[in-house]
Amino acid sequence: MSIPFYEFPSSPILIIGAFGIAVAIAVFFVANQKYFNSPFNKELIKKKKALINEQKELNERLGKIEQELNNL
């Protein structure tokens, strides 16, 4: 009784296709990283502005709380 063994085809078209898929995945990953880290990304700009505004509001609230504590 012999164990069946799969021989991987060595067709050049299969090798080129596999290489093409690997390159496509690499390009997708790099482009995605570059897009989301881009300074021209409108979503990122909005998020940054919202976070800066929230930080200012929290600092103002913290200042008021500190003043109230000093007045006690």
Task: Give yes or no for residue 9 having a pLDDT over 90.
Answer: no
- Max distance between CA atoms of the chain, in angstroms, equals 91
For the chain, give the percent of residues with pLDDT over 70: 100
Backbone angles phi, psi at 3, to 5 degrees: -85, 130
Query: Average model confidence (pLDDT) for the chain?
Result: 89
Say how far apart CA 44 and CA 32 lie, in whole Å. Answer: 14
**41 CB-near residues (< 8 Å, 6+ apart):** 35
End-to-end CA distance of the chain: 91
Around 65, how many Cα atoms within 13 Å sit in the side-chain half-sphere? 6
- The predicted-structure confidence for 22-52, as pLDDT tens digits, reads as follows 999 999 999 998 888 888 888 888 999 999 9
Which of residues 49 and 8 earns the better pLDDT score?
Answer: 49
